[in-house]
Amino acid sequence: MSLARAAGAIVRPSKRAGTTLLQRRAASSHAHDEHHHEEYHDTNVYEPEVFNTSFWRRAVIAAVGVVAFYKYAPAPGDDNPIAKYISSTMTPAEVWHNMAFKHLAMSAQGSDDTKLMVDAKPPTVHRYRYPQRFEQYSPNSQPVGIKLSVDDIVVKRD
């Protein structure tokens, strides 16, 4: 709405009895005010935001402990009771070397056995088309120097 039109509406009385544009605009859009009389109160109880809670106390104690340990801890080469205890409870290195060598030898034996089983084949069977020829063999009329014996050959019949 333009300014001239708004000014004309103020100067001229409106068609409604007694209400002007400004009076209508200033009216509240709420039909009732009963919700505005109550104030919202938060019923939750919050702890005060301070640095003396148990979390910060523990954090400061942990930080002081870390700094003290770093300052007074023995050097890696020093002899101390903790290092002595750990070395006394550990298994010697020779035992681990012996166990590793035994494991290596047993693994090699196992792989050899596996390879033997994988590469195993049934014996070859030579099948002849006419096995009766062995029975027809004549020991006579052989060239000189060839001595062939077929006495131990057994022909299988299927």
Q: What is the DSSP string of 45-95?
A: ------S-SHHHHHHHHHHHHHHHHHHHSPPTTS--HHHHHHHHHSPPHHH
The pTM of the full predicted model, rounded to 2 decimals, is 0.34
What does the radius of gyration of the chain's CA atoms come to, in whole angstroms? 55
**Annotated domain spans of the chain:** 50-90
Query: Is residue 61's pLDDT more than 90?
Result: yes
Query: Is residue 38's pLDDT more than 60?
Result: yes
Q: How far is CA 154 from CA 132, 134, 150, in A?
A: 11, 9, 9
Burial class of residue 20 (count of CB atoms within 10 Å of its CB; 0-12, 13-18, 19+): middle
DSSP state of 34: G
Rounded mean pLDDT, 15-22: 53
Q: In this predicted model, which residue has the larger pLDDT, 64 or 8?
A: 64
